Amino acid sequence: METTRLVLPGPAPTVRDAATLCARLARLYEDGAGTVECDARAVTAPGLGAVEVLARLRLIARGRPLRVTGAAPPLRALLGLVGLVELLGEPEEGEPPGRVQEGVEADDPAV
């Protein structure tokens, strides 16, 4: 599956950027994009605008592969605070990494 890049504007995406980026992401999926990577290297001063942009992009993805790459520590921390850390491809705190099965005890009830 081919990965398509969507570049986020820097240094701080705004709410105004959201509509353009969402339309672009929707078009990418309509054109058959598999995995989309949002390149966040230019985002050096993230704020609530960046959170809104990424949250709206996640909604557009609707379960299709979407991942943020190149996120600097301030953006990573902000995404962690608002519960969007999964966009970074990392498990949330207290969650096991993806595709890792937790241990099962012999007397655990079936789920």
Q: What integer pLDDT is reported at residue 103 of this predicted model?
A: 58
Q: Which residues are CB-contacts of 8 (< 8 A; sequence separation ≥ 6)?
A: 17, 21, 38, 39, 40, 42, 43, 50, 53
Q: For residue 85, which amino acid is it? A: V
Q: What angle do CA 93, 96, 101 make, to 5 degrees?
A: 170
pLDDT tens-place values along the chain, 111 residues long: 688 999 999 999 998 999 999 999 999 999 999 999 999 999 999 999 999 999 999 999 988 999 999 999 999 999 999 988 888 876 555 555 554 455 556 666 666
CA distance 8 to 39: 6
Per residue in 30-49, pLDDT tens?
Answer: 999 999 999 999 999 999 99
pLDDT tens string 73-85: 999 999 999 988 8
Q: Is the pTM of this model over 0.85?
A: no
